[in-house]
Amino acid sequence: MTSISNGGSGDGNSAGFADLGIDSRIVATLTALGYEEPTPIQRQTIPVLLRGRDLIGQAATGTGKTAAFAIPLLQRIDLTPGKRPNTQALVLVPTRELAMQVAQAVHRYGKEMGVSVLPIYGGQSIEQQLRVLRRGVDVVIATPGRALDHIKRRTLSLAQVKVVVLDEADEMLDMGFAEDLEAILDSTPSERQTALFSATIPARIAAIAQKYLTNPVRIAVESERMVEGTAPRVRQTAYIVARSHKLAALGRVLDMEAPTAALVFCRTRTEVDQLTESLNGRGYRAEALHGGMSQEQRDRVMRRFRDNAAELLIATDVAARGLDIEHLSHVVNYDVPSAADAYVHRIGRTGRAGREGVAITLAEPREHRLLRNIERLTKQRIEVSTVPTAADLRARRLELTQATLRETLLAGGLDNFRVAVKALSSEFDIMDIAAAAIKLVHGASSAEADHADIPSVSAPRERSERTGTERKPRDGGRGPKSETHSKRPRRKTEWSVARLYVGAGRKAGVRPADLVGAITNEVGVDSWAIGSIEIADRFSVVEVPEEIVDDIIEVLRSTTIKGKRVLVRRDREA
Sequential DSSP letters for 50-83: HTT--EEEEE-TTS-HHHHHHHHHHHT----TT-
- Angle at 199 (CA atoms; ends 377, 150), nearest 5 degrees: 130
Across-strand partners of 164?
A: 90, 194
Q: At what angle do helices 24-32 and 65-75 cross, to 10 degrees?
A: 150
According to the model, what pLDDT value does residue 242 have?
83
| Residue pair 273/316 in contact by the 8 Å Cβ criterion | no
Q: Beta strand pairing status for 483-485 and 533-535?
A: antiparallel
pLDDT greater than 70 at residue 448: no
- Terminal CA-to-CA distance of the chain, rounded, Å? 52
Burial class (CB in 10 A: 0-12, 13-18, 19+), 437: middle
Fold of the 2-221 domain: Rossmann fold (3.40.50)
The pLDDT confidence band at residue 29, using thresholds 50, 70 and 90, is: confident
Count of CA atoms in the C-beta half-sphere (13 A) of 363? 29
| 3 state DSSP class of 221 | strand
According to the model, what pLDDT value does residue 12 have?
39
| Residue pair 511/565 in contact by the 8 Å Cβ criterion | no
For the chain, give the mean pLDDT: 79
| Residue pair 51/214 in contact by the 8 Å Cβ criterion | no
**Domain residue ranges of the chain, discontinuous segments joined by +:** 2-221, 233-389, 391-451, 483-570
Mean pLDDT of 149-159: 92
Indicate if 483-570 has the same CATH topology as 233-389. no
Greatest CA separation for the chain:
95
The pLDDT confidence band at residue 321, using thresholds 50, 70 and 90, is: low
**461 DSSP 8-state letter:** P
Across-strand partners of 497?
A: 545
Instruction: Give the integer Cα–Cα distance in Å for 384 and 374.
Output: 13
Range of 20-29, 57-66, 75-84 with top mean pLDDT? 20-29
| Residue pair 408/371 in contact by the 8 Å Cβ criterion | no
According to the model, what pLDDT value does residue 525 have?
65
- Between 66 and 459, the more confident residue is 66
Instruction: Give the integer Cα–Cα distance in Å for 282 and 477.
Output: 51
Fold of the 233-389 domain: Rossmann fold (3.40.50)
Query: CA dist 26 to 71, 129, 435, Å?
Result: 8, 27, 65
Other residues' Cβ atoms within 10 Å of the Cβ of residue 60: 18
Query: CA dist 200 to 185, 203, 235, 444, Å?
Result: 21, 10, 27, 52
pLDDT greater than 60 at residue 236: yes
State pLDDT tens for residues 536-564. 888 899 988 877 788 788 778 877 788 78
pLDDT greater than 80 at residue 342: no
- Between 540 and 409, the more confident residue is 540
* pTM for this entry: 0.49
Q: Beta strand pairing status for 89-92 and 117-120?
A: unpaired
The pLDDT confidence band at residue 360, using thresholds 50, 70 and 90, is: very high
Which of 319-323, 448-452, 478-482, 516-520 comes out lowest in average pLDDT?
478-482
According to the model, what pLDDT value does residue 231 have?
38
Instruction: Give the integer Cα–Cα distance in Å for 57 and 363.
Output: 32
According to the model, what pLDDT value does residue 62 have?
55
According to the model, what pLDDT value does residue 5 have?
55
- Alpha helices (runs of H) in 166-294, residue ranges in sequence order: 169-174, 178-186, 203-212, 246-257, 269-281
Fold of the 483-570 domain: Alpha-Beta Plaits (3.30.70)
According to the model, what pLDDT value does residue 469 have?
33
Instruction: Give the integer Cα–Cα distance in Å for 390 and 256.
Output: 10
Count of CA atoms in the C-beta half-sphere (13 A) of 507? 8
